[in-house]
Structure 1
Amino acid sequence: MTTEVVNINKSFGDFRALNDINVTINDGEFLAILGPSGCGKTTLLRLLAGFESPTDGMIHINKSLVADRKTITQPEQRNVSMVFQSFALWPHMTVSQHIEFPLKHHRYVDAELRNHSKDRIDEVLKIVELEPFAGRLPGELSGGQKQRVSLARAIAPKPELLLMDEPLSNLDAELRLEMRREIQNLHRLTQAAIVYVTHDQGEALAMADRIIVMNKGHIEQIGSPEEIYHHPKTPFVATFVGKANIFEGTWENNIFTPQGTNEKWKDIGVTKELISENMYALRPEQIELKHAGQNENFGEILTRQFQGKEYHYSVRYNNQTVIVYRPVSEKFRVGDYVSLNPLGNH
């Protein structure tokens, strides 16, 4: 099943939440929508679910028009399930009853699945590893177990499109890592297309086949995790996803000179879009530090943070603060003067 979002705009009064959004979600794909709060990612998800209607544009699911500015197919009439940030569990229903509910009421559940709902409940309980908790109520479960129930309820009717709205944001750091693996496993087992909204770049990079990076209602870039991380096309993508440092200066014959210096930096794969804006992006781990010698453009170490296998430094360089990650074998002190270069720029 393919889902197509065509020229979608969404306004709330005078506020434009989405601007000319175009994307195709392929059958069985894991697509992450990544961006800061207020960028429009949840609005786009709600349009896909049928909770909102577009101001302009069209949405097609499996070649059928489900939304435009005049008509909207209601959520219960789409072969779609949603996992909410808040879990949205019913306090009076057991784990098994949560899984059974969509099997009874989802219009796209086929007759065989409906007639053998007990088998499907047992199958889903096994998938999400909740078999020992089948008879428990939500109040008797941990946060991670509640999220598994929410996932189980969503996958029970075998939807063709599974929507997830920041499902891990209410869990602690260790549980989030564990649940990433669970969701990847669910994707492999269900083969459903997943649209996963998050503001956490780590989640998107770890799980998705493709990532949409959004900012202020616009799509900044669409690509694989590797493309988004290694080849950002805009300053926003570079800084939001790769936590890159952006340097302004001039380009000449694939050589970059940072503004206010006489340094010469080689092109290490900067995208043509950033080159056209006379910019150079360096992620913290791409920067080499050395104690500054005479006649060098140098920076000053402002802070140092120990992070186990590496130190995180902030460096005042040419009127901007640059973040640098270096291994513990390369230790500098606060106040040291250092030269700064891209790794391999020799």
Structure 2
Amino acid sequence: MNDAMVVGVSKRFGEVHALHQIDLQIKSGEFVALLGPSGCGKTTLLRLLAGFESPSSGEIWLNHERVADKNQLKPPEQRRIGMVFQSFALWPHLTVYENVAFPLRHQQNVPEVYKNNPGARVAEMLEMVGLGGMEKRYPSQLSGGQKQRVALARAIVFNPTLLLMDEPLSSLDAELRIQMRKEIQHIHRELGTSIVYVTHDQSEALAMADKIVVMRGGRVEQAGTPHEIYYSPQSPFVAKFVGRANFVKGQWADPHTFLLERDGQASLPLRVSQDFAPFHADQVLPVRPDQIKLHPWNEGADGVRGRVQHVQFQGRELLYSIQIGKEEWEVASDIGTSFSYGDQVAVEILV
């Protein structure tokens, strides 16, 4: 089984503490997204995995071998790691073929079958990324999306144990980013290579990853599946950074019963299946905009009474701002039932 482990890793740059006691396991074939704002340490962690930096403390293991601690560092070319950069990092004087074939000559532990017949391997990889027949072109003759595909083919041509990707789609336009997401997922399925993918785009992480590691201030804030991160955030930061969240006020009667404020009193009980222990002290419940349903208001309606403050049409959904007492909640609703500014609505929470 090929896997990677980061054990108690910290990293300092002079007086700056970039990473604090990071523990992370990347299982064989797993797609892990490192998600967080600029400066949170995600790229530093990626560089440590690649071998570009050594940890100040802790250990890094690849395939059951310790490749780094504060006293030793196995160089990148000996780790059998593929890397895709945001800037593409193609050699402008080399053709597409020469760029992609480069690791077959310079990486260690390349399978003999690839070394002995590099032309067939390069052709196979270019077909996989949709660039068959472009072997003789130079990077200057390619679009941004094509350059990124060349960079991807170069990173996987030698069948790496671990593929590291540092915000690889951030320089592409929105439509091309969505297309490249599909292609990266396809390659992941085809090759089964473990991937560590750095991004600050929460929609990218939710769409692609098996596991999301949310980072903040050099620490792991929460790690889990996309569903766990989205629907069971374990801190206000995760709730706000990954998607949007309303912090609904009330009282926690017990770990799975939240009393929602209704007309100024905490009286409407909600049964909560998820674990929201970190929110108990503040007496709030994190609720996603799509976990709220709106109904026309009448005196016998379920839920709390609100007033529509804003409406935004988003194609297949409507985004509402609903005034409830002194709070304003965000609500995402399908277009089947629409309300207008000033309408009174019954607001039902579905958790």
Residue by residue, what CA displacement relative to the aligned partner does 1:52-81 show, whole Å, maximum 9, x if unpaired?
A: 121211101112211112221221221111
Asked if residue 276 in structure 1 is aligned to residue 280 in structure 2, the reply is yes
Q: Identity over aligned residues, as a percent?
A: 48
Contact 2:258 2:285 in 1 (8 A): no
Aligned with 2:315 (options 308, 332, 342): 308
Distance 2:27 2:274 in 1: 29
Q: Is 1:174 matched up with 2:175? A: yes
Query: TM-score if structure 2 supplies the norm length?
Result: 0.91
Unaligned runs of 5+ in 1: none
Q: Which residue of 1 aligns with 2:129?
A: 128
2:294 corresponds to which residue? 289
Once the 2 structures are TM-superposed, how far is the Cα of residue 309 of structure 1 from its aligned partner? 1.9
Residues 11 and 267 from structure 1, CA distance in 2 versus in 1: closer, same or farther, beyond 3 angstroms?
farther
Deviates more, 1:324-333 or 1:4-13: 324-333
User: TM-score, structure 1 length as denominator?
Assistant: 0.93
The one of 328, 336, 341 equivalent to 1:329 is 336
Q: Tell me the equivalent position of 2:202.
A: 201
CA distance in 1, matches of 2:349, 2:124: 52
Q: Paired residue for 1:105?
A: 106
| Alpha carbons of structure 1 residues 112 and 255: separation in structure 2 relative to 1, 3 Å | closer
Deviation of residue 323 (structure 1)?
1.0
Q: Distance in 2 between matches of 1:334 and 1:14?
A: 53
In structure 1, the partner of 2:63 is 62
CA distance in 2, matches of 1:327, 1:56: 50
Distance in 2, matches of 1:142 and 1:62, equals 36
Q: Is the 8 A contact 1:231 1:269 kept in 2?
A: no
* Offset at residue 42 of structure 1 (A): 0.9
* CA displacement at 1:297 relative to structure 2: 5.6
* Greater alpha carbon shift after TM alignment, 296-305 vs 30-39: 296-305
Q: By how many angstroms is 1:127 displaced?
A: 1.1
The correspondence of residues 186-197 of structure 1 with structure 2, limited to 5 A, is 186-197=187-198
Structure 2's unaligned 5+ residue stretches are none
Q: CA offset at residue 219 of structure 1?
A: 1.0
CA distance in 2, matches of 1:272, 1:284: 17
Counterpart amino acid of residue 327 in structure 1: D
User: CA offsets, 1:181-219, max 9 Å, x none?
Assistant: 111111122221111111122221222111111122111
- Report deviation, 1:313: 1.0
- Asked if 2 retains the 8 angstrom alpha-carbon contact of 1:270 and 1:280, the reply is no
> Is this contact kept in 1: 2:235–2:279, CA < 8 A?
no
> Deviation per CA, 1:90-114, whole angstroms, max 9, x where unpaired?
1111111111111111122133321
How large is the Cα RMSD of the aligned pairs?
2.1
- Which residue of the partner structure matches residue 256 of structure 1? 259
* Counterpart position of 1:218: 219
Describe the superposition over 1:87-145 as per-residue Cα deviations: whole angstroms up to 9, x where unpaired. 11111111111111111111221333211111111111111121122111111111111
Q: Deviations over 1:224-268 (max 9, x none)?
A: 222222222222222222412122331114132349444514123
Identify the range of structure 1 (221-230 vs 150-159) with the bigger mean alpha-carbon deviation: 221-230
